[in-house]
Amino acid sequence: MPNKTVLLIDDEQSFLEPLADALESEGYRVLKARAADEAFDLLETEHIDLVTIDIMLDPGSAFIDDVDSHSTGIHLCEAIKEEWPNIDAFCISVVSDMKIIKKIESLGIRFLRKGETPLRTVLNMLRSRLTGIAYSTERDRKDFKRKP
């Protein structure tokens, strides 16, 4: 049973839940934050191995100057890389603006398109990062081809 903790930061419950279910089914401990301030509280108090971050996010009481809907997620990515550089970070968002995606990737954070990336692919990528075993598309295909 993996003994690792994943923090999911997303204000859309509809995406938080299935991703949490998938990770918990593999034995990971999952924490959820629906706003940036909740995420900071958990980052400061819990041992976290991996974090997923949404871009369009409720800032809560953090980043009070953010008015642009994309700013909060970007600021959060920057803050996490700055203050918790040892935590693996993924960005999972619907954002399609290449400038924003490049900005995120320039921070060393892998970007995945929310919803459009199959859950098994997201799960395999996160698992690969958590276990240190290289990600392979073969695993995706096997999952896909598995007979009921």
Partner 1 sequence: MSQNELSLEQLKKKVSHLERENAKLKGQIEQVEKERGEYLQNVSHQLVAPLNAIKWHIENLTAGRINVERGKTVLKSVYSQATIAVHLAKNFNLMSNLEADHALKKLKEPLQEIELHRLMVNLANDFQPLAWDRNINIIVDDENFDKRPTVLAMKPLINQVFSNIIENAVKYSDKDTKVIIKGKYLDESDTFLVTISNYGIPLNTDLCKKIFDRGVRSDEAKRKYPAGTGFGLYIAKRIIEIHEGTITAITRNGLTIFEVTLSVRGLKGKARVRA
Q: Rule CB under 8 A: which residues touch partner 1?
A: 11-15, 17-19, 21-22, 25, 34, 56-59, 66-67, 69-70, 94, 114-116, 118-120, 143
Q: Which is nearer to partner 1, 47 or 99 (CB)?
A: 99
Angle between helix axes 71-83 and 98-106 (nearest 10 degrees) is 10
Contact 75, 37 (CB under 8 A): no
Q: Which is nearer to partner 1, 29 or 84 (CB)?
A: 29
Exposed, middle or buried, 55 (CB in 10 Å: 0-12/13-18/19+)? buried
- The minimum distance between CB 85 and partner 1, in angstroms, equals 27
Q: How far is the first Cα of the chain from the last one, in angstroms, to the nearest whole number?
A: 24
Q: Which is nearer to partner 1, 103 or 114 (CB)?
A: 114
- The minimum distance between CB 60 and partner 1, in angstroms, equals 8
